[in-house]
Amino acid sequence: MIEPSASNLVYIKLGGSLITDKRQAETPRLDVIQRLAAEIAAARRGDPSMRLIIGHGSGSFGHVVGSRYGTRNGVRTSEQWYGFAATADAAARLNRIVTAALLAAGIPAWSIPPGVALRCEDGVIVDGPAETVRLALDRGLVPLVHGDVALDRVRGGTIASTEEIFEWLAERLPPQRMVLAGEVDGVYTGDPLRDPSAQRIPEITPHTFADMATGISHSFGTDVTGGMAAKVQQALRLCQRHPQLRILLCSGLIPGAVQRALTEEGGPLGTVIYS
What total of structural domains would you count in the chain?
A: 1
Average pLDDT over residues 225-231: 70
Lowest mean pLDDT across 8-22, 45-59, 96-110, 212-226:
212-226
Q: Is the pLDDT of residue 220 over 60?
A: no
Q: Is the pLDDT of residue 217 over 70?
A: no
Whether residue 1 lies inside any domain: the answer is no
Whether residue 2 lies inside any domain: the answer is no
Whether residue 129 lies inside any domain: the answer is yes
Whether residue 160 lies inside any domain: the answer is yes
Read off the pLDDT band of 264 (50, 70, 90): confident
Read off the pLDDT band of 251 (50, 70, 90): very high
Domain extent, residue 142, equals 9-273
Whether residue 128 lies inside any domain: the answer is yes
Question: Regarding predicted confidence, which is higher, 128 or 222?
Answer: 128
Task: For the chain, give the percent of residues with pLDDT over 70.
Answer: 91
Burial-class residue 190 by CB neighbours within 10 Å (0-12, 13-18, 19+): middle
**CATH code at 165?**
3.40.1160.10
Amino acid at 141: L
Q: Is the pLDDT of residue 227 over 80?
A: no
Q: Is the pLDDT of residue 2 over 90?
A: no
Model pLDDT, residue 222: 47
Query: Which residue spans within the chain are E strands per DSSP?
Result: 9-14, 51-56, 109-111, 119-121, 124-127, 142-146, 148-152, 156-160, 177-182, 187-188, 200-201, 203-204, 246-251, 271-273
Determine contact, residues 270/248, Cβ cutoff 8 Å.
yes
pLDDT digits (tens, 9 = 90+) for 49-71: 999 999 999 999 998 899 999 99
Whether residue 4 lies inside any domain: the answer is no
From the CB of residue 223, how many other CB atoms can be counted at a distance below 10 Å?
Answer: 23
Whether residue 3 lies inside any domain: the answer is no
Read off the pLDDT band of 219 (50, 70, 90): very low
Question: Regarding predicted confidence, which is higher, 5 or 208?
Answer: 208
Whether residue 35 lies inside any domain: the answer is yes
Read off the pLDDT band of 252 (50, 70, 90): very high
User: Which uninterrupted H or E stretch holds 169?
Assistant: helix 162-170
Model pLDDT, residue 6: 44
pLDDT digits (tens, 9 = 90+) for 138-196: 999 999 999 999 999 999 999 999 999 999 999 999 999 999 999 989 998 887 778 88
Question: Regarding predicted confidence, which is higher, 187 or 95?
Answer: 95
User: Average pLDDT of the chain?
Assistant: 90
Give whole-number Cα distances, 48 to 43, 98, 119, 217, 241, in Å: 8, 22, 34, 37, 28
Determine contact, residues 73/122, Cβ cutoff 8 Å.
no
Model pLDDT, residue 216: 64
pLDDT digits (tens, 9 = 90+) for 101-117: 999 999 999 999 999 99
The model's pTM: 0.90
